[in-house]
């Protein structure tokens, strides 16, 4: 089992966590940390560190998912985990998190797990033209 930590501005991380728990059932080793107005970078980094330390003590691997590359949740996480062999994934979204949660038990190779999750998350992005696509569908 790989620990999952979702980091974002405001309530997005909590929302992704709640949505994933609603779809998959309550998940263990799954945390979210929101960065709110007035929050301080070091303090946020410490929250990240607190959770990753907990996983390290249990000898568990973990993955950090952040909303935006180069933004505070990313910066704070990257600073907090500098010099460690950790993985931070940027541009978190629900399909990506669902894929990782569903496959994290079967995979000891974190990089392979992430490669598949990112590929499937890309596949899940589509533009459906409600007029054309749905009408084509009915002709099939």
* Residues near other proteins, by CB under 8 A: 22-25, 98, 102, 123, 128, 133-135, 137-138, 140
Judged by beta carbon, residue 59 or residue 105, the one nearer other proteins is 105
The token pair at 111 is 């990089």
- Closest approach, Cβ 122 to other proteins, in A, equals 13
| Residue 140: Cβ within 10 Å count | 4
58 three-state secondary structure? coil
- Cα atoms in the 13 Å half-sphere on the side-chain side of 26: 0
Judged by beta carbon, residue 44 or residue 65, the one nearer other proteins is 65
33 three-state secondary structure? strand
Q: What are 22's strand-pairing partners?
A: none
Please name the residue ranges forming H helices in 58-93. 72-80
Judged by beta carbon, residue 86 or residue 121, the one nearer other proteins is 121
Judged by beta carbon, residue 40 or residue 133, the one nearer other proteins is 133
- Closest approach, Cβ 137 to other proteins, in A, equals 5
- Closest approach, Cβ 27 to other proteins, in A, equals 9
CA distance 12 to 36: 11
- Closest approach, Cβ 128 to other proteins, in A, equals 7
């Amino acid at each position: 089992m790989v620990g999952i930590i979702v980091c974002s501005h405001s309530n997005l991380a909590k929302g992704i966590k709640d949505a994933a728990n609603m779809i998959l059932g309550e998940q263990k080793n799954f945390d979210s940390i929101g960065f709110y107005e007035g929050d301080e970078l070091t303090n946020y980094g410490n929250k990240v560190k607190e959770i990753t330390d907990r996983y390290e003590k249990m000898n568990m691997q973990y993955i950090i998912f952040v909303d935006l590359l180069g933004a505070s949740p990313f910066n704070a996480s990257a600073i907090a985990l500098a010099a460690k062999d950790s993985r931070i994934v940027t541009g978190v979204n629900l399909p990506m998190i669902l894929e990782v949660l569903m496959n994290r038990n079967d995979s000891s190779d974190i990089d392979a797990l992430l490669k598949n999750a990112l590929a499937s998350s890309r596949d899940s992005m589509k533009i459906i033209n409600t007029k054309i696509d749905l009408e084509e569908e009915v002709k099939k």
